[in-house]
Structure 1
Amino acid sequence: MRYRSGFDPDRNLWDLIAFDLRRQREERDISLAVVGEIIGRDRSLISYVESGKTKLQEKHAVKIDDAWRTGGLYSRLVKFAKLGHDVSWSATHLELEANADELRIWELSWMPGLFQTESYARAVFDACGTEGSEEGAKARVERQQCLHRTPLPRVWAIIDERVIMQPVGSTQIMRDQLAHIIELARLPHISVRVVPHSVGAHAGLDGSFKIMTAGGADSVYTMAPGGGRLIQDGTETNSYRVWFDLIGDVALPKNASLDLLVEAMGRFS
């Protein structure tokens, strides 16, 4: 079994959980398949957890604690891990994004990173006072290759109207950015919809997030200043699915959203 790149149980609580789970399983002379039976999942999931490629879910930790009589050890460790910031979240998020079969994006403040032009991305970094804006912008554009890989991912993006109306950088930067997102929105595997100002309060106002689905499993990345949070617990990811649907309920249909994007681009001429 190969550990995830950067796996470090001395510095990362999630990696410590993975490392100890494997140690305990091997000391008990229990196979991956048997642990899978304990939590009601396939052995492959246990392999992914032990290698650090996915995180142990709290509901699965409870079952393992009960079966192994650990006194609630793994349940407590998972709870503590979920409370802290994991420096590997960003890298894991990018890996999941690049390989996702489906992406569901809600963006409240900026154009989604996967849709940003290099000039727009540079303007975002500059506005936030981020060092290395040139390198950051180029890296953001390179990420977008996943939108055109084979097989094509299915992408649903919902953005707030202020994202397409607020100036970022120069007038030309905004016009080019809107032209780019219009081009993407016309692709058959990408859907872009807009939540208009007139909606008022709705479920998306708490913040932006992205749901990445690979192999039928969801992972969620929530955006925040200084680094986001990666969520892989099934109960939590299901909540974000619900929130995404609630936001979709108040968004304009695809064609009406496209018309609004074209109108917005005209304002930056």
Structure 2
Amino acid sequence: MATNPSPDPKSNLWNLTAFYLRLYRQKRGLSGEAVGRIMSCSKATVSRIEIGETRLDGTQAKALDRAWDMDGLFSMLVWYAALGHDPQWFAQYVDLEQRAQFLKIFEAQTIPGLLQTEDYARALFITGDAPNAEDLIRERMARQQLLDQEPQPFMSVLLSQTVLEWPIGSPEIMRGQLARLLELSERTRVTIQVIPRTWETGAYPGLDGSFELLSGDQFGDVAYTESPEGGRLVSSPSEVRRFAIRYHRINAKALPEEPSRALIRKFMEDTT
């Protein structure tokens, strides 16, 4: 097994879970490969969980509880960790975002951070009364380097029509932002589709809020959903699957790529 140190178990419940996994594995004199057989995963995955790069999911926790007669300890740790607010959620999210090979983004209110222009981002942060707005803007712009890396991750983006219509900053800022969307939509590894606000579309699952799905060889599949002053990373396969189904249902309501570009172009030209 890797000799990397366990994460600080006092920092959050996910790190406490990782700490106990390594502790009980070592107390039993088991290799990562042996524990991987219990959890139905690879030795490398066990190592990543132990150092906090990947999170133990509910199925794996139940397998450990059965095999080690833990009276549900790991299942309870995972359950409480998933419910709670993780103070390191954003750093973990950005790390996964930068390592992802496939991102699926649904946004109901504003342009997703990875697609924002600097002026649009500034208008949002200033409105939110962020005390360190310029630092946050620089961090957001720096995250966008993944759009130009090789190979660029594949991105599928679904935007509600509200995102295109809601006035942010000024007409000039909005026109620049919508022009940026059009430019990105022409890239071979980016698809942008709009969910039209029509009676035909009606109520759809996206009205519940924005979320993102991230996939990568190093960490598998993770869902991310945000709320004011916080966010939540979801790694349980059953929960991630529910988000994937929701994304598929929203996508079924979206316009194809070219009609989506036409709608974006229309709002850009109409913005005054």
| TM-score range for the pair, normalised by the shorter chain length | over 0.9
Question: Which residue is 2:228 aligned to?
Answer: 225
Looking at structure 1, the residues matched to 5 and 174 of structure 2 have their Cα atoms a distance apart, in angstroms, of 43
Shift of 1:129: 2.1
Looking at structure 2, the residues matched to 66 and 128 of structure 1 have their Cα atoms a distance apart, in angstroms, of 48
Question: Which residue is 1:192 aligned to?
Answer: 192
Encode CA deviations 1:185-229: one digit per residue, 9 max, x unaligned: 111110000001112210111110111110171111101110110
Question: Which residue is 2:114 aligned to?
Answer: 114
**AA at the equivalent of 1:244:** Y
Map residues 229-240 of structure 1 onto 2, 5 A cutoff. 229-240=232-243
The two structures, once aligned, show a CA RMSD in angstroms of 1.1
Shift of 1:89: 1.2
Q: Where does the alignment leave 5 or more consecutive residues of structure 2 unmatched?
A: none
Question: Which residue is 2:254 aligned to?
Answer: 251
Looking at structure 2, the residues matched to 8 and 26 of structure 1 have their Cα atoms a distance apart, in angstroms, of 17
Looking at structure 2, the residues matched to 208 and 263 of structure 1 have their Cα atoms a distance apart, in angstroms, of 24
Looking at structure 1, the residues matched to 131 and 53 of structure 2 have their Cα atoms a distance apart, in angstroms, of 30
Looking at structure 1, the residues matched to 169 and 202 of structure 2 have their Cα atoms a distance apart, in angstroms, of 27
Question: Which residue is 1:241 aligned to?
Answer: 244
Shift of 1:11: 2.4
The one of 203, 206, 211 equivalent to 2:205 is 203
Q: What SS does structure 1 have at the residue aligned with 2:221? A: strand
Encode CA deviations 1:64-120: one digit per residue, 9 max, x unaligned: 000000111111111111110011111010011011100000000100100000110
Question: Which residue is 1:147 aligned to?
Answer: 147
Encode CA deviations 1:155-187: one digit per residue, 9 max, x unaligned: 000000011011000110001000111100111
Shift of 1:61: 0.5
Q: Are residues 124 and 3 of structure 1, via their aligned partners in 2, closer, same or farther at CA, if it must alter by over 3 Å?
A: farther
Looking at structure 2, the residues matched to 176 and 109 of structure 1 have their Cα atoms a distance apart, in angstroms, of 18
Shift of 1:3: 4.2
Looking at structure 1, the residues matched to 98 and 181 of structure 2 have their Cα atoms a distance apart, in angstroms, of 19
Looking at structure 2, the residues matched to 66 and 194 of structure 1 have their Cα atoms a distance apart, in angstroms, of 46
Q: Does 1:212 align with 2:214?
A: yes
- Tell me the TM-score normalized by structure 2: 0.96
Map residues 1-269 of structure 1 onto 2, 5 A cutoff. 1-3=3-5, 7-198=7-198, 199-215=201-217, 217-269=220-272
Contact 1:164 1:264 in 2 (8 A): yes
Aligned length: 267
Contact 1:119 1:137 in 2 (8 A): no
The worse-fitting range, judged by mean Cα deviation, of 136-145 and 109-118 is: 136-145
Looking at structure 2, the residues matched to 152 and 105 of structure 1 have their Cα atoms a distance apart, in angstroms, of 16
**AA at the equivalent of 2:24:** Q
Q: What SS does structure 1 have at the residue aligned with 2:229? A: coil
Looking at structure 1, the residues matched to 129 and 250 of structure 2 have their Cα atoms a distance apart, in angstroms, of 30
Looking at structure 1, the residues matched to 150 and 175 of structure 2 have their Cα atoms a distance apart, in angstroms, of 29
Encode CA deviations 1:222-250: one digit per residue, 9 max, x unaligned: 01110110111111111111111100000
Contact 1:3 1:52 in 2 (8 A): no
Looking at structure 1, the residues matched to 56 and 193 of structure 2 have their Cα atoms a distance apart, in angstroms, of 34
Looking at structure 1, the residues matched to 118 and 47 of structure 2 have their Cα atoms a distance apart, in angstroms, of 38
Shift of 1:130: 1.9
